[in-house]
Structure 1
């Protein structure tokens, strides 16, 4: 798994990561979220041995990246899809990496097929679109069939079909028992993909929670629709709920669970056409949590 313990990273006078601690366990997709400059990419770079920590530790499977004897077989990562020699073909880019780790041509062909690049395997990378380079970078991450995977903004440049493919790939990797960490600014996609969330701001931990727990915390009540709205309002209010008309029609009920609403309506013979619990979107919850930690904020004209 991934373990970050009291990690601090300073660049001259700037603090990029400030005493950050979290754990990413196998079997789930963890979204790594935060505003620009929050320290997400720096944390990943330290985990991969590209930057040295000022203090604290960043471990993969209990060891620093430099101590791994077969790193490609333990951890795969995509940080920069453009970090590839443009004159090489997709196949040769992967094959050169494979040779350094004793991986055969068959595995190279397999991952190219898996990411949808088999048809352009012999084409030079300099002619690839950003989405194709993203797919190639993901192929590199998968090459050693590692148990730990880290991706920094993996859906950049992908069309809707590619975004869905990435989502399904991430969830299937987690379902296989792998550890999957994804840094992203696309809250709508994280809401569909992630199981857990690590939210940071100014290099510090803001939240380490599940998507379900965050949705529960930012609940917006229950939407109820009934042809006998007035009668139902009286019943629910008498039972202690707060009931107000919903702007979109129906009733907005606060302070009462779905099951209790249904039971009360059934006991009084009141028909109910809809009972829907509602929460703020992940984007709204994220913005509320990180409002004080945004470093780059546009001014109003």
Structure 2
């Protein structure tokens, strides 16, 4: 057999000699491991032998001797060996899934049981944590999986998300495609609000507003319009207290302007079917919303119209 290195002491340095020796050792080891063997000392003869390892899923039942090869046996149930080995017994499948986990890989003769977090949860520091929801104004960019949490991104122009959810942002509705007028333009926090109540550019309110009369569409338009026209958080909080008939102070409420607008609008929508006329009057009599801020709205039973003056 040809040697791995030819050395001439007169021309080779000590460092090169060491490097070549290391190379020889590595080559010998790799050749040994590539054949899945191991060294074993026979207890009867004290002779050192090179035995063949057992394949995955088996273990060494009897080590080799000078006259016989290694004897391997299949791993019993709930035991395994994952690699070529010279173990005298298989390993026990010692991984068990907890109540927030499910089995991702069953125990068999060649692998241990593996667990992963159930749908809706992800692993974090060896615990299964529920996936995060995306806050209003943002949507899911990438759904969470057993290994990582949900990834959110801000809703792009023309889309919105009004609640904390695990859904992508939705497109604003197209009012003109529905033969409706835009009452409140949409933003990333809420949809566009459409109305069948026609918008004009008048500046004087009619008597119809004062008694709460007028068309159903125009009354709905007022309720949709008012919360998003007010852009002062203090006034939004005060109006919410008045319409909810609550005396509790909300000075410590640290919600954003958008959150307060959505909260007030949601509350008004819940009330509008039972107290619609009272709400229309309350906006003005409360002193929170003046007639000029309400737009003003012209509401009459005989003619559907909404007069809006936007600032």
TM-score norm. by structure 1 comes to 0.20
Name the larger-Rg structure: 2
- The structure showing larger relative contact order (alpha-carbon pairs under 8 Å, at least 6 residues apart) is 1
Flag the structure with higher strand content.
Answer: 1
Flag the structure with higher helix content.
Answer: 1
